[in-house]
Amino acid sequence: MATEAMKLLLDGGNPLVGRLMTYDSMSMKFQEFKVNRDHDCLICGTAPQLTQLLPDYETYADTGQLSIP
């Protein structure tokens, strides 16, 4: 994740936008998967509803209920 952040901050390399990379340390193998955007996502969908930090994260963490301000 740190490498991806550096690539985005420095505007270099090929960031894993729309892709997920996994690493198996036992076999020393990397795999890359295409990940499609969820158009209904509250954060990155076509009509984002969650555009700021949650005001009451503790309640969300305890209950799993999300109340969008």
Residue-level pLDDT, tens digit, the chain, 69 residues: 888 889 989 998 888 888 999 999 999 999 999 999 899 888 888 988 888 777 777 877 788 777 666
Domain boundaries, the chain: 2-51
Strand locations in the chain, DSSP E? 19-24, 29-34
CB atoms inside a 10 Å sphere around CB 59: 13
CB atoms inside a 10 Å sphere around CB 40: 8
Q: Is the pTM of this model over 0.85?
A: no
